[in-house]
Structure 1
Amino acid sequence: MGQRMLCSSSSHTTKLWKTPEQTASLSHDQDEITSPETNTYSPDFSSYADNGITNRHVDKEICSYPPFENQTLSESNHEEANSQQYIEADAGDGTKAHEQYLTGFPLFLTISSCIISLFLVALDQTIVSTILTTVGNKFNAFEKIGWLTSGFMLPMACLVPSYGNISIAFGRKWTLVAGIIIFEIGSLISGISNSMSLLIGGRVIQGIGGGSIQAIVMVILTEVVPMNRRSLVFASISVVYSTSSVLGPIIGGALEKITWRWCFYINLPLGGAALAILMFGFHPPRPQGNIREKLSKIDFIGFVLLTSGLVLVLLALTFGGTNYSWNSGSIIALFTVGGGMLLLFIVWNFRYSANPIILTALIVDWRVLSACLSGMFNFAFFISNLTYLAVYFQVIFNAGSLQSGIDLLPMVISVTLASLANSFFIDFTKNVKITMLASGVLSPLGCGLFLLLNEDSSIGIRIGLLIISGISIGLQFQSSLLSAQLAVSKDIPGATILVTVFSDFVKNFASTISVTLAQLIYQTTGQKYVSEMMTNLSEDSQDYKDLNKYTTAKFISNPEVVQELPNSAKSLVLRQLMKALKNVFYLGLGLAILCFITSLFTTNKRIPKNVEIKKNEDQESNKNEPN
């Protein structure tokens, strides 16, 4: 029936049965059973060696029992077992998980530094939107303004996964310090640039540093607080993302009145403050090993293959259909070479790499993968919808940057309130799955409501339709990451770091793809609808004469041209552009449906309670003591 093993207790001896298959399953949230003799349950994931059998440590008072066939727990005991069995994975750098925890003033300083850094990176994703025309005219290079956004987003999306291994080797603090310094250098170069090429180069450097900031901030905030307090910290991150996305154009518009260079100079004092606070207030344990051992933890081959492949594919998606036709040799070459390098990365990473950038456990465990994908689809539709809701207000209602930011406040406020409410709900109930499902249901509903918007929607309609989508985003943000961290195997050193970085990577990559696809949909369908509308007009009509002065592409790229048209011609164009915007909202709806589907398959594990985490820390520290 299995292999018989004995467990000593202070008062009696208990028999427990284990097979290799059963012990291997203990790192997942399977049904557990308490002993009929002790009616207690002991967590000890770390007690199973590579052969799946050896027990290195058993608590003196209680013993662990794997599942027996045809036996189940009551619901309350099942929840207790799930919560007690949680032990945080070590970082993989020789330090213990509980050594990273902070309290009091050091915790406040660390969180403050991380939030400021993350705010600047998130702000830089949107702040340049208001200065594109000014900068294009300044350097007489209007055709290159798209690179001011792409040059920042591409390296940030592509480099995020590699920062996980780098932080394990050299420590999270110094990886973040390097990221802030690189980001500051890029900001300075962008601010003092005297040519478009230099400005684009500065934006690329900003993106390299921004990728480190975005990835490592999430890791640090994961490590410095235990799992049961993490939802409150993660709520602040969702607030940062939502507010910075709206404040970017507002701040950019205000700074442009002084000089567009201040859109980059603003990062220097704030980034410097974040760096000083980090150096003063954050002192984590140092990773063990010499420089050779640390460098051996970095997968340089995987880094080159993954980064190169992603850059080439994203370049093809960025310029295909706009600067170049999809069947052009350049676009085909980018897709072919980039796709080939990504295939090579997959083979190398999952078959040959000693320190893979993406753990196999993150892909084969459907609970981990589902949580990451659900968060990815949620963030993707959030970014694409937020971007083109701003376009909706600016194009259809002729709102400026400030007014469009105000118009988006209902979504930002609902994201903020939902995130805070969700953090308190998770802190009280320890249940993550409920909010994952609630967000999954509300996401398609909120995105579907955007299809009701039109060119004459009232203010009340515009405000009301943004709220449900904002709630769904606020509920999802911290829940998806917490769910992935709960589900990942704790037997793998560095698993928590790598799953956190992987979750951030897929969100960044998907948001870049979704915005690119949204732009492609809006531009191509908008031009098509306007062209079809003009072919149906009589060449002798006044509307045709007014519209024929411009190319259809001009109506898409320069909304000010639309507002200068006579009312009759303007209403015709706005109607076609509204149809194109609804196509973008259909994209968001599709992503929201995928968010709902993937949320169904996330883990049912609950977050452990305070006393249980303390207990597990004691077990870790006493693991090697003789019984």
Structure 2
Amino acid sequence: MQPDEIQKSNIAAMHVERPDVLAIEHEEDVNYSVGVRTSLAIIALALANCCATLSNTTNTIIKFQVIAVGGAAEASWIANGNFLLTLACGPIFGSLADRLGKKWFIVGGAAVGVAGSFISASGKDVFTIIAGNVLTGIANAGCIVAIPANQEIIPNRFRPYAFGFAQTVNSAAAVAGVFTAAAFAQYSTWAWSYRLNGIVYAVSALSVLALYQPPPTAIRRSASIREILLGVDYIGMVLLAGSFACIVLGLTWGGTAYPWRSGIIIGTLTGGCAGLVIFGLFEWLVKREGALLDRRLFGSPNFPILCFVCLIDGMLLLGINVLYAQEIGDLFASQAVRIAVILSPFLITSTVGCLPAGYAMGRTKSYRILLVASLLWCSLFTGLMGLINPSRLSVALAMSALFGIGTAVTTVLPLVALGLSVPSFLLGTAGTLSISARALGGIVGVTVFTAIYNNKYAVYMPRAVITALQNLPDSQQIVPAVIGALSSPLPPPVALQTVQQLPASMIGPVLGAISVASAMAWKYVWIAIACVVLAGAFSSCFLKPVNAEMNSHVESALEKSVTREKQLHGNEATPDH
């Protein structure tokens, strides 16, 4: 028996309790063709998907928000409040959407995003901004349901093309969002960035409402709403959401609100990890049918491997979006627009590479070699980013553009391959679990990489200050004052002006010295990123092919056809007209 036949046999064996769903899963309509309805729905769903990305571009101007409203100690929660709710709610919404339908989770999520965006825009203090971002985190958990919805409305063999297009729109939104957020922060007010996001959420909700008209889901067609609601894995949802919350809280508080060795941090992280273990055991041993971590997702080893790759990709993408912007501010620029310009080679190449990545998978029906090669490529050039310093801007531009090409592939292929590796009627569950893995990777990545930077900077900065001021006659008195000022939350130029003993002529040399110290600290961050991505490349070597699943099956038909009639009314289909 061939490997693909074994995989199909395993999946079929897991469906014995629902033969009606199995029949729908393997039904193929070779005459089904994609038309205007599907094309318009793909555009609307791509717009909904990009809402989450666009809302996160406000994280690139967090320092300007804090300058305006204060609350530097709580600033990390502007981003993490959003990530935490997306992480916790995403799998819950995905599981429910597979059972009840995806449309209203997307529309409802976008509606909540409108409210959250305008609440953040109205913020006069950091807590109001955080509250708005908590709502947009919930909104994004609903909007990312658009990813599996995008894949199930077209024949399986066309999924790479459709998702390549969707991710192109998504990445283009990231580029546009970074530049508009920077422009608003520099020339108007950061609040307009949130207002723009609110407008996009509203347009997305209306577009999906009007253009996406799916039939009932396969599970909904084979069970009543009462049966579905009674079978929902409520305990698993609470365990997963609570465990994620504990881990994120521990990672966010550690080293800032509390020392890493404090009982609160150790207890929170330990509790979160223990909760995930309990969740896994509960899903595997207790909740056999309707589990959030459905056993049928594991018919192939691809699902756990690709979730791990998504976690690595989150550390790569989200970590770089946040941290590279900070490094640019440390080494090359202080103005928001200038930071966005330097960041743009990475953003642009990661955008233009999405369509070619989807096209390559669609044409070859292969993805493993390209994914492994792309991860190795990213590992190489993120490692080379460790060579940059304040005098090597051209190196930063070149290296970031090169690894941006690789991130386009790592963004598109894992999610398409994952969708083809699980039963189509569980696309929402699988897709949102993988996105949650990516969000968790982003949080872990930002936390770990920031800790690496802070530890190294704490070593190199005092040395740089001592070297820069060693020729001053009273350097022994000035150096401690300068180091103390630079350790405050104030921007370095402002902090140095508060040191009365420091001659004005020495501010420039000190700033230059600490820029070099910062570059040396960032070097270790890039080395860590390169090692993490290399681990992702190694794990991807064990992925299985999905070419057998790239067939004519359409899970949710939008065009008038025999397939849609069956999905709307059961097995009594009417002929096409």
**Pairwise TM-score range, normalised by the shorter structure:** 0.7 to 0.9
Tell me what 1:303 maps to.
237
Partner of 1:548: 481
Show the 5 A alignment for 1:155-194. 155-194=85-124
- Residue of structure 2 aligned with 1:275, choices 205, 215, 220: 205
Shift, 1:163, TM fit: 1.6
Say which SS state the counterpart of residue 482 (structure 2) adopts: coil
Which residue does 1:152 correspond to in 2?
82
Deviation at 1:534, TM superposition (A): 4.6
What TM-score, normalized to structure 1? 0.78
Secondary structure, counterpart of 2:7 in structure 1: coil
Spell out, residue by residue over 1:93-152, the C-alpha distance to the aligned partner (whole angstroms, 9 max, x if none). xx97879x88333223322222222222212212143254445543x5333222211211
Contact 1:127–1:251 (CA<8 Å) still a contact in 2? no
**1:503 is aligned to 2:482:** no
CA contact (8 A) 2:115 2:135 kept: yes
CA contact (8 A) 2:316 2:533 kept: yes
1:250 is aligned to 2:183: no
Quick one: structure 1 residues 419 and 558, their matched pair in 2 at CA, closer, same or farther if it must change by over 3 Å?
same
Match of 1:200 among 130, 149, 154: 130
CA distance in 2, matches of 1:560, 1:211: 40
Distance 1:182 1:526, change over 3 A: same
In the TM superposition, what is the alpha-carbon distance from 1:23 to its structure 2 partner? 11
- Contact kept in structure 1, 2:345 and 2:401, CA below 8 Å: yes
How far the C-alpha of 1:539 sits from its partner, in A, is 9.0
Map of 2:51 onto structure 1:
120
Q: Which residue of 1 aligns with 2:306?
A: 371
Q: Residue type matched to 2:482 in 1? A: K
- 2:397 corresponds, among 454, 458, 463, to 463
Deviations along 1:377-426, whole A, 9 cap, x unmatched? 13421322333222222211124221222222222232223222222222
- The secondary structure found in structure 2 opposite 1:566 is helix
1:587 partner amino acid: A
- Residue 286 of structure 2 corresponds to 352
> CA–CA distance in 2 between the matches of 1:96 and 1:167?
21
In structure 2, C-alpha distance between the alignment counterparts of 1:613 and 1:205, rounded to whole Å: 33
Corresponding position: 1:566 with 2:501: no
Distance 1:255 1:124 in 2: 14
For residue 487 of structure 2, give the secondary structure of its aligned residue in structure 1: helix
Q: Is the 8 A contact 2:28 2:553 kept in 1?
A: no
Larger radius of gyration: 1
Distance 1:527 1:47 in 2: 57
Given the alignment, which residue of 592, 595, 608 partners 2:533? 592
Alignment pair present for 1:321 and 2:248? no
Larger relative contact order (C-alpha < 8 A, sep ≥ 6)? 2
Residue 285 of structure 1 deviates from its aligned partner by: 0.9
Q: What is the rounded CA distance, in whole Å, between the counterparts of 1:559 and 1:362 in structure 2?
A: 51
For residue 72 of structure 2, what is the amino acid of its counterpart?
A: F
Distance 2:321 2:125 in 1: 31
Gap change, CA 1:543 and 1:412, over 3 Å in 2? farther
User: What corresponds to 1:384 in structure 2?
Assistant: 319
Does residue 143 of structure 1 match 2:73? yes
Deviation at 1:497, TM superposition (A): 3.2
1:220 Cα shift?
0.5
The yes-or-no answer on 1:415 pairing with 2:356 is: no
Deviation at 1:226, TM superposition (A): 1.6
TM-score w.r.t. the length of structure 2 is 0.84
CA offset at residue 262 of structure 1?
2.0
* Structure 2 residue 326 is the aligned partner of structure 1 residue 395: no
**Distance of aligned partners of 1:385 and 1:105 in 2 relative to their CA distance in 1, 3 Å threshold:** same
**Letter aligned with residue 114 of structure 2:** E
Per-residue deviation, 1:48: 9.4
Structure 1 Cα separation of the partners of residues 117 and 245 of structure 2: 22
Opposite residue 26 of structure 1, the aligned amino acid is: E
Structure 2 counterpart of 1:103, from 2, 12, 34 = 34
Distance 1:612 1:568, change over 3 A: closer
Q: Secondary structure at the match of 2:374?
A: helix
The alpha-carbon distance between structure 1 residues 120 and 47, as it changes in their structure 2 partners (threshold 3 A), is closer
Letter in 2 for 1:28: Q
What's the offset of the Cα at 1:532? 4.4
After superposition, the Cα gap between the structure-2 partners of 1:554 and 1:248, relative to the gap in structure 1 and judged at 3 Å, is farther
| Deviating more after overlay: 124-133 vs 555-564 | 555-564
- What corresponds to 1:223 in structure 2? 152
How many Å apart are 1:173 and its aligned residue?
A: 0.6
> Equivalences for 1:464-483 in 2 at 5 Å?
464-483=398-417
1:28 is aligned to 7
Shift in Å at residue 458 of structure 1? Answer: 4.3
Cα deviation per residue 1:487-534 (whole Å; 9 max; x = unaligned)?
33x4xx733333222222211211121112222222232123213445
Letter in 1 for 2:309: S
Taking a change above 3 Å as real, the CA distance of residues 142 and 385 of structure 1, as seen in their structure-2 partners, is: closer
Distance apart, 1:172 and its partner CA: 0.6
Aligned partner letter, 1:317 = L
Using a 3 Å threshold, how does the CA distance of structure 1 residues 406 and 51 change in structure 2: closer, same or farther? closer
State the SS of the aligned residue for 1:125.
helix
- Equivalent residue in structure 1 for 2:378, among 425, 430, 443: 443
User: Per-residue deviation at 1:206?
Assistant: 1.2
Name the CA distance, whole Å, in 1 between partners of 2:550 and 2:521. 49
Number of the residue aligned with 1:512: 443
RMSD: 3.7
Q: Which structure features the higher share of helix residues?
A: 2
1:528 equivalent to 2:448? Answer: no
- Pair 107,553 (structure 1): closer, same or farther in 2 beyond 3 Å: farther
Q: Note the alpha carbon deviations across 1:243-291, whole angstroms, 9 max, x for none.
A: 4444434212322343333222223332222111111111111234444
Asked whether the equivalents of residues 155 and 552 of structure 2 are also in contact (C-alpha less than 8 Å), the reply is no
Q: Distance in 2 between matches of 1:194 and 1:121?
A: 24
C-alpha change, 1:196 and 1:49, in structure 2 (3 Å) is closer
Residue 232 (structure 1) aligned with residue 136 (structure 2): no
Partner residue in 1 for 2:500: none
Q: Does structure 1 retain, via aligned residues, the 8 Å contact 2:314–2:445? A: no
Cα displacement string for residues 422-448 of structure 1 (whole angstroms, at most 9, x for unaligned residues): 222222222222312321331221212
Query: Which of 190, 198, 220 pairs up with 1:260?
Result: 190
Equivalent residue in structure 1 for 2:277, among 337, 343, 352:
343
Question: Structure 1: which amino acid aligns with 2:294?
Answer: L
Instruction: Report deviation, 1:350.
Output: 1.7
CA drift of 1:232 comes to: 1.6
Instruction: Report Cα offsets for 1:534-558 as digits up to 9, x if no partner.
Output: 5677595577736733526537763
Counterparts of 2:361 and 2:203, CA distance in 1: 32
Aligned counterparts of 1:311 and 1:253: Cα–Cα separation in 2: 30
How far did residue 334 of structure 1 move? 1.5
Measure the CA separation in 1 of the matches of 2:396 and 2:292: 43
Shift of the alpha carbon at 1:607? Answer: 5.8
Q: 2: CA distance between counterparts of 1:539 and 1:300? A: 67
TM-superposed CA distance for 1:310, in Å, is 0.8
Residue 320 (structure 1) shift = 0.3
Question: Which position in structure 2 is the counterpart of 1:10?
Answer: none
Mapped contact 1:324–1:331 kept (Cα < 8 A): yes
Q: In structure 2, what residue type is equivalent to 1:152? A: N
Unaligned regions of 5+ residues in structure 1, if any? 1-21, 31-43, 58-86
Query: How far apart, CA to CA, are the structure 2 residues paired with 1:45 and 1:470?
Result: 36
Evaluate the alpha carbon distance shift between residue 450 and residue 364 of structure 1 in structure 2; reply closer, same or farther with a 3 A threshold: farther
Question: 2:517 aligned to 538, 553, 576, which one?
Answer: 576
Q: Give the Å deviation of 1:164.
A: 1.8
Identity of aligned residues (%): 20
